[in-house]
Amino acid sequence: MHDDRNLVEARLERVLRERVRPAVHPLTAPLSVEIWSTTGEPVPVAEGLAAPTRPIAAGTPWGAPWGTSWFKVTGTVPAEWAGRTVEAVLDLGFTRRTPGFQCEGLVHRPDGTPVKGLHPRNSYVRVGSPVAGGEQVHWHIEAASNPDLEASGVPFQPTPMGDKATAGDAPQYVLGEMRLAVLDETVWNLVIDLEVLGELMAELPVDGARRWNILRAVSRALDALDLQDVNGTAAAARAELSDVLAAPATPAAHRISAVGHAHIDSAWLWPLRETVRKVARTASNMTALLEEEPDFVFAMSQAQQYAWLKEHRPEVYARVKKAVADGRFVPAGGMWVESDTNMPGSEAMARQFVHGKRFFLDEFGLESDEVWLPDTFGFAAGLPQIIKAAGATRLLTQKISWSRTNSFPHHTFWWEGVDGSRVFTHFPPVDTYNCEVTGHQIAHAARNFKEKGVATRSLAPVGYGDGGGGTTREMVARAARLRSLEGSATVEWATPTDFFDRAQAEYPNPPVWVGELYLELHRATLTSQAQTKRGNRRSEALLTEAELWATTAAIRTGAPYPYEQLDRLWKTVLLHQFHDILPGSSIAWVHREARETYARVAAELEGIVADAHRALAGDPAGGTELVFNPAPHARGGVPATGASAQPPTGGAVVPVPREEGGHILDNGLLRVEIDARGLVVSAYDTTAGREAIAPGQAANLLQLHPDLPNEWDAWDVDAFYRNTGSDLTDVTELAVEGTSVRIARSFGASHVTQVLSMPSGVKRLDIATEVDWHETERFLKLAFPLDVKADRYAAETQFGHVYRPTHQNTSWEWAKFEACNHRFVHVDEPGWGVAVVNDATYGHDVTREVRADGGTTTTVRASLLRAPRYPDPETDQGVHHFLHALVPGATIGDAVREGYRTNLPERRVTGSVAEVAPLVRVDHEAVVVSAVKLADDHSGDLVVRLYEAHGGRAHATVHVEAEGAAVEQTVLVDLLERPLAGRGEPTRGENAVVLDLRPFEMVTLRIPRG
């Protein structure tokens, strides 16, 4: 037989495009359209409905950037359409771009009731099926003219459209046709039939019979179709396809659990306020689709987004709650937002689950066992322990499929964290969280699945995401045809729990991956938008302080505890840890608002701290200066998490001149030489007799690199940035100011001022850096070349630290050329090490080289600033502050202690008491208290969270000195402060609890109070 495959396939493509799809709506009638616009913030629905309108015709420009227009759409169903299915097709001026990145709308009835959302792939509203004829149509569309930041078709181009202040007011869109239309459901189904078979056919082997069977059936169907009367002959065409559509899948076919989904970024190329509306539009669409499709299941994560619905669109929220109660709309994930997981601190990461899970429990009576993070940029090694402590056991993500160097070896596996906790993890092999159920996607999932032979199941999140939109009726129809279709994987709607239950039952002993899940992409998100990152770090520290001192004041003095205020502030900070806000990958508007929000959060938290200090310190007329130490380690004679009146400790060391030029700081424990360039050429550990700085090199060295990644400007830094760069050694000023050495430099259009100082009695050099940054597409690093032979280094993560190699033996190691740390990086040889501590930076790199003298230099570099131009063309322009400390001779314990000291500085308050005793004391230096608070249920119980921080075992006694505390009734609880089943009871004594902790183990104690 002659090979006419290409001929038939080309025929199918053209006939679908030019004849069949246009015949879906064979009859149309125009609607009357009127418009009212505002360039200000969105108005309440009632105001939009009542606003005065003017007529507008198709082809008319509308919509200033970030504006809102209300369209009034009216018309009458023609009488001759009686008995037909009729819907409105409402085109706001959509482009061919995917949903979520352009104009969108929400349709309302005249009474304000929402109907459904509109986007370019879902622009219909059902009028009736069937209609009687003569029905009056009257709708109002709240339309958002959000600018398309990539409308030019060229990605990652700088644009002023990312902030309302710079976007201008030129109309963004041209109104399309607004019309009533008869829906020919037979033709609509023929379109789906032909698309599914055509896409499946393209994925099948050419030498297989199934491909040719489909080809012949398609050819017969096209022959049966009269192109001059598609509507009259569509049924005959469908009949020719019935046999090939009825052929069942083979028993060995891969099985895909489809989960309706609309990954909605809580902010990204749109501001937070627009996400509120995106969620309303998507939820309206999905609840409507659930009513139409009985097999469909939809899952939505992010408790914050449900909370927005509850606050701003209660009528939509009511529909969601009903669908949740019916088991069709699934609250997934149990986190406040789909946060970044690399940079949030220990407590913040824990609170993502606390607030997310508690919302779902309170609102729906449901608790998810799955963590749902499809788009987060890598996963810290501390996360499994937090997941388990929150009462979950499973994780879903697909983002690791974006790695550019190595292909991750599993799709289903156990993921083991720093403490040994394991969670059952799945990466959907479909490699997208925006699956459209196309033939290529389904075939790719089956081919790509790495567990073939031992497992058969994977999950596919189905629906338009990022900017929202969700699942469409076309996707549901495709899934119905693929439920069991020869040549394809099977597709069945399921909840996330259904999938995980089946997958785990089928594959109970998958392989284990130990340590972080590092994404080999988007590494620059650890540095971009430095002020957002500083705001996050400072907010986390202030929340820790506010809880500690408010709890201490409540127990010691009876002061009121600010439950609601702390709850609200935590949720604000957690929202801003969303994986496009904290990583610095959102538009200018988002980060401008974030800076303003962090300032308000800091002011409120400072107020809480000040009120608690005042209550604890007593009458300021007493004249006693108390030092409050919020850190979990004693310092300067002040106990951890307590306060005492202390004499001056000697202050800082006064610099002395250096013969070769520059200055020397020497406190008897550490001797630092700063040369005439303002560089640290020696940091000599006097007690160990050991030099920290590599011979012939200098620390405190600022290095500037060009930084234009191949794509994803705010997200990526590519390895070739290191090929070129310059050391910033020119000095415009080098001077002594009291006990500090001040250094000033200029480069490009920017200026740097550094202040170096050394406290007495501690082996630590403090480096305060101020950068007035006005570069573009540059990367600024702060380097410390250390005379240490280290094959690995430690970087702090949640509730512990993770080790990474300094060498590049394999491609996996080479790919980690930029990584995350929290408060410290530590390198060591047996018996001696060095820590580099920070107060606000996350990105860093560590490299090694062997010198001519045979020694090894291990260089630690902190990443300070970048200057990408997309999506915010003014990223990081302005003044920034950083604090780093170089700690020679540091153990891991020293690194932990100095990290807390740098981030939780002491405070001095004048009062009338001599001390404020800590509520909790721990007798083991490796056991760190991370939270002291009152229980969230307002019971007044004391909650203490602590963890083993050094990576070893610890036998520790926790002494509790809180009025009314029933220490003998202390229980171990989970993150939601519920008793842990199966963990046994801690050893309890009089005012003390004894714990035996594994390496990096985190525990939470709940201590009842009378």
Name the nearest CA neighbour of 497 among 334, 350, 741: 334
CA atoms within 13 A on the CB side of 801: 25
> pLDDT, tens digit, for every residue of 407-429?
999 999 999 999 999 999 999 99
| Total length of the chain | 1010
> pLDDT, tens digit, for every residue of 843-861?
999 999 999 999 999 999 9
Name the nearest CA neighbour of 731 among 742, 747, 740, 744: 744
Under a CB-based contact definition with an 8 Å cutoff, are residues 219 and 1 in contact? Answer: no
> Taking CA 653 as the corner, what is the angle to CA 650 and CA 659, rounded to the nearest 5 degrees?
155
Distance CA 165, CA 160 (A): 9
> pLDDT, tens digit, for every residue of 304-329?
999 999 999 999 999 999 999 999 99
CA dihedral 268, 272, 273, 276 (to 10 degrees): 90
Is 91 known to be catalytic? no
The pLDDT of residue 96 is above 90: no
The pLDDT of residue 598 is above 70: yes
Mean pLDDT of the chain: 97
Name the nearest CA neighbour of 544 among 977, 930, 953, 22: 930
The pLDDT of residue 990 is above 90: no
> pLDDT, tens digit, for every residue of 266-282?
999 999 999 999 999 99
For the entire predicted model, the pTM comes to: 0.97
Structure confidence at residue 187 (pLDDT): 98
The pLDDT of residue 806 is above 70: yes
> Taking CA 901 as the corner, what is the angle to CA 898 and CA 904, rounded to the nearest 5 degrees?
150
Name the nearest CA neighbour of 883 among 867, 870, 864: 864
Following DSSP, what letter does each residue of 164-228 receive, concatenated? TTTS-S---EE---EEEEE--HHHHHHHHHHHHHHHHHHHS-TTSHHHHHHHHHHHHHHHH--TT
The pLDDT of residue 648 is above 70: no
pLDDT confidence bin for 749, thresholds 50/70/90? very high
**Residues 358-387: what's their mean pLDDT?**
98
Q: 146 Cβ partners below 8 Å, 6+ apart? A: 65, 66, 101, 102, 103, 104, 172, 270, 274
Burial degree of 872 (CB within 10 A; 0-12, 13-18, 19+):
buried
Torsions phi, psi of 418, nearest 5? -60, -30
Under a CB-based contact definition with an 8 Å cutoff, are residues 469 and 282 in contact? Answer: yes
Instruction: Tell me: cis bond preceding 130? Omega within 30 of 0 counts.
Output: yes
Q: 22 Cβ partners below 8 Å, 6+ apart? A: none
Q: Which two tokens stand for residue 943?
A: 């909650």
Distance CA 417, CA 401 (A): 20
Other C-beta atoms lying within 10 Å of the C-beta of residue 168: 12
Q: 704 Cβ partners below 8 Å, 6+ apart? A: 725, 726, 728, 747, 748, 775, 778, 779, 780, 781
* Paired strand residues for 784: 860
**Residues 793-798: what's their mean pLDDT?**
98
Under a CB-based contact definition with an 8 Å cutoff, are residues 211 and 116 in contact? Answer: no
Distance CA 706, CA 861 (A): 16
pLDDT confidence bin for 2, thresholds 50/70/90? confident
24, amino acid identity: V
Structure confidence at residue 153 (pLDDT): 84
Distance CA 674, CA 693 (A): 12
> pLDDT, tens digit, for every residue of 130-168?
999 999 999 999 999 999 998 888 899 999 999 999 999
The pLDDT of residue 234 is above 90: yes
Distance CA 666, CA 652 (A): 10
The single residue of 184, 193, 375, 713 carrying the catalytic annotation is: 375
Under a CB-based contact definition with an 8 Å cutoff, are residues 812 and 804 in contact? Answer: no
Strand 800-805, strand 920-922: pairing: unpaired
Place of tokens 């290409």: 6
**Residues 332-339: what's their mean pLDDT?**
97
pLDDT confidence bin for 197, thresholds 50/70/90? very high
Strand order in the sheet with 114-118: 54-55, 32-38, 67-76, 136-145, 104-108, 114-118
Answer with the residue of higher pLDDT: 3 or 885: 885
Distance CA 914, CA 155 (A): 63
Please tell me whether residue 72 adopts helix, strand or coil conformation. strand
Q: Which two tokens stand for residue 185?
A: 């459901």
> pLDDT, tens digit, for every residue of 519-551?
999 999 999 999 999 999 999 999 999 999 999
Structure confidence at residue 989 (pLDDT): 81
Name the nearest CA neighbour of 796 among 951, 901, 956: 951
CA atoms within 13 A on the CB side of 827: 25
Place of tokens 């003219």: 145
Structure confidence at residue 61 (pLDDT): 98
Structure confidence at residue 545 (pLDDT): 98
